[in-house]
Amino acid sequence: MKHTSICLVSLLGGMVVGSALAMLMTPQSGPELRSKIKGWVEEEVEKAHAKAEQLQQQIKSQLEEARCKCETKEA
């Protein structure tokens, strides 16, 4: 599990660096490039927030399930 998470983080990091380099290497004006980068960053931040919310909901449901199991054993 530890190796899988390291691989995923490395893959995502490589994708971010590759995307940034591709945007910087394309011939565009400064304001146009900054606008494009800003839009891309905002999209990625939204995706990260959505994923974080999804994980938070999963953790809450698993925690609630564990509490119910504990309460059932105590009763």
pLDDT of residue 71: 77
Residue 75 CA to residue 73 CA, distance in Å, equals 6
Handedness of CA 60, 61, 66, 68 (dihedral sign): positive
Q: End-to-end CA distance of the chain, in Å?
A: 35
Give 2's pLDDT tier (boundaries 50, 70, 90): low
Tens digits of residue pLDDT in 17-63: 888 888 777 777 778 878 888 898 899 899 999 999 999 999 999 98
pTM for this prediction? 0.53
Domain positions in the chain: 2-74
The DSSP output letter for 35 is H
